Amino acid sequence: MEKCIFCEIIANRIPSYKLYEDDNVICMLDINPLTKGHCLVIPKKHYKDIFEIDEATLANIILAAKKVSMQIRKKLGAMGINILHASGKEAQQSVFHFHLHLVPRFKGDNLDTWPKSEYKEKSLNEIYEKIKG
């Protein structure tokens, strides 16, 4: 396996701006923030993506994301937050160590994180049947 930058940060071999840490999870500021306070919530154990991560670790990550989100709202005055994740190259995952992006939202930040598209009902029915069936 190639060296993982997040594993290096977790091992304290690369400095970071850690906002939160417990036995299972760290949260640090993103070095290329979309907004003030944009941070990453990362499991300490290496999991490539959503398909590999176990449910207990995923639950720990979500709980940490909530704690940090509350701090961001309290300390930075964020009006909302986007929680973003990409699994797989086709989803534009760039670091192949599972992580969540917490992107604080502020009035007038003009950040568009939700592309608009329309699906026809026939397409939705076909997709529904494939997933449910």
Which residues on neighbouring strands pair with residue 105, listed in sequence order? 80
Q: Which two tokens stand for residue 90?
A: 């086709």
Alpha-helix residue ranges (DSSP H) falling in 1-133: 5-10, 55-76, 121-132
- End-to-end alpha-carbon separation of the chain, Å? 36
99 is catalytic: yes
Considering Cα of 121, then 127, then 129, then 132, what sign does the dihedral take? negative
Catalytic residue among 38, 97, 99, 101: 99
The C-alpha atoms of residue 15 and residue 72 are separated, in whole angstroms, by: 21
Q: Mind telling me the catalytic residues?
A: 99
